[in-house]
Structure 1
Amino acid sequence: MHRLAKLSLANRSVVALITIIIAIFGLISVGGLKQELIPSFETPQAAIVTTYPGASPEVIDKQVSQPIEAAVRALDGLVTSSSTSQSNVSIVRVEFDYGTSTSKVKENLNAALASLTLPSEATAKVLSGSFDSVPVIALGVSANSGNNEAIGKVLEDTAAPLLASVPGVRDVSVSGVVEKRINLTLKQSVLTANGLTSQSITSALQ
């Protein structure tokens, strides 16, 4: 160590030159590094969302949530699972071992769903993703005239396809669009008198 210090002091100009060269190469290397605002990062988590129009929470739990959760618990690498049963909707959340790819999670869950026989009117969908799915840019638009319903149609028909055509854009979605909706309040006594159920009304309107 003493010899190295003595040698450095005796050749200070050479040591300074080597230090400058190393610093320059370091700056060049930093400039060439790939940088991302939101790096790609996959989380081994997913949710199975099943819609069953007209079904009560009890029916959802018995006929949808419990069978799905029982099927996913048999999958390799599963860490935890939980379910939420609400009117018309079942949500089963799952978490797999860290390092499991999103595509593998989705593949396993779809295989588990394929082995089940759910009610014919129930529709299940696997939702999984990574930080690649997080929107990088969010834009807010409003109409000066106050007609946000009309501008929503323009955004969906014109703006979204235009932005999606830009090179490097993976996906464009429009949310918060005002839509016309009709709410029906059914009288149970009238339904019973005519031999109908809320499910039959829902099916007739679809």
Structure 2
Amino acid sequence: MNSIINFVLKNKFAVLLMTIIVTAAGLYAGSNMKQEMIPSITSPVITVTTINPGATPDDNAENVSEPIENALKNLNGVEKVTSTSMQNASNVQIQYDFDKDMNEAQDEASDAIANVELPDTAEEPSISKMSFNAFPILALSISSEKESLEDLTTRMEDEIVPAIEGLDGVSSVQISGQQVKEVKLTYDQEALEENGLTEDTVKNVIQGSNVSMPLGLFTFGNSEESVVVDGNVMSLEDFKNIEIPITPSTQGQGAAG
């Protein structure tokens, strides 16, 4: 320790020069260091989504999800393959170990799926890597002095959004602020009592009508088709056509007897 102190005292200029050089080098390195608030993190997961219009969950599980799982589970680096089959669609997730090159994994998955025989009704599977960077990076505002909000909403959904989605590198497009049509219910209490109904009964019937329920596969001639009860209320006319079962009041008949 004494030797170091003696060296510093005898070479003050050299020590000062070394301090300046180290400080300057640190400032230079710090200013040129790459920094990110949200660093690029790639999760070792690939998702395969297949749209199959009109197919039931069981049909998608058997004819879409299972064949894709079998084609992917033996690929190099795959740790686990899981799937979710739903009405009209199938979703398969492949989890790899962290040493796997995900660009290579995506290419391998694409090649494997290309050899899978899927139903004729199924669209081409979409393969995507899971990334923590998948958040909106561009926001656009659209207004019009000549169009109403309803017309602008229609043009946005039918023209502008599909055009943006077709651009190279665009993963998804979300819109907000568009016109959303709503129906407000008012009740005639005398009519409800006359027909043996309550407000909750009417609400439950309406909610129960606005569903889509698959019934399964049925044979029509020489082919099998998926049958679905589609009760989705898409317009005011659909809403008006909902039939509500009533229980006529018998109070008047009892009084007359």
**Normalised by the size of structure 1, how large is the TM-score?**
0.70
Which residue in the other structure is 1:101 paired with? 101
Q: Which has the higher contact order (CA 8 A, sep 6+)?
A: 1
CA distance in 1, matches of 2:2, 2:154: 76
Q: Contact between 1:142 and 1:148, CA under 8 Å: does it hold in 2?
A: no
What secondary structure sits across from 1:106 in the alignment?
A: helix
Cα shift at 1:73: 0.7
Counterpart of 1:135 in structure 2 is: 136
Selected match of 1:147 from 146, 149, 157? 149
Per-residue Cα deviation, 1:104-147 (whole angstroms, up to 9, x for no partner): 1211111111121111111211121544544345x374769981
Deviates more, 1:16-25 or 1:58-67: 16-25
Normalising by structure 2, we get a TM-score of: 0.58
How far off is 1:90 after superposition? 0.8
Distance 2:4 2:70 in 1: 69
Structure 2 segments unaligned to the other structure (5+ residues): 181-209, 231-257
Q: Per the alignment, do residues 118 and 185 of structure 1 end up closer, same or farther by CA in structure 2, a change over 3 Å counting?
A: closer
Identity of aligned residues (%): 28
Kindly indicate whether the alpha-carbon contact (under 8 Å) linking 1:45 and 1:105 is maintained by their aligned counterparts in 2: no
| Matching of residues 9-158 of structure 1 within 5 Å | 9-123=9-123, 124-131=125-132, 133-137=134-138, 139=139, 141=141, 147=149, 150=152, 153=155, 157=160
Question: Retained in 1: the 8 A contact 2:46–2:130?
Answer: yes
8 Å CA contact 2:56, 2:226 repeated in 1:
no
Question: Partner amino acid for 1:174?
Answer: V
SS at structure 2 position matched to 1:110: helix
Greater mean alpha carbon deviation, residues 93-102 or residues 144-153? 144-153
Give the whole-Å Cα distance in 2 for the aligned partners of 1:38 and 1:148: 38
Equivalent residues, number? 188
- Give the whole-Å Cα distance in 2 for the aligned partners of 1:66 and 1:79: 17
Q: Does the Cα contact within 8 Å between 1:48 and 1:125 map onto a contact in 2?
A: yes
Structure 1 stretches lacking a partner, 5+ long = none
Q: Distance in 2 between matches of 1:120 and 1:78?
A: 28
| CA pair 110-196 structure 1, distance change in 2 beyond 3 A | closer
* Distance in 2 separating the partners of 1:185 and 1:68: 27
Aligned Cα RMSD in Å? Answer: 4.2
The answer to whether the 8 A contact 1:56-1:87 is kept is: yes
Label 1:192 to 1:40 Cα distance change in 2 as closer, same or farther (>3 A).
Answer: closer
Post-superposition CA distance 1:154-198 (Å, at most 9, x none):
69649x87xx8xxxx965853126599xx9979x8xx999x9955
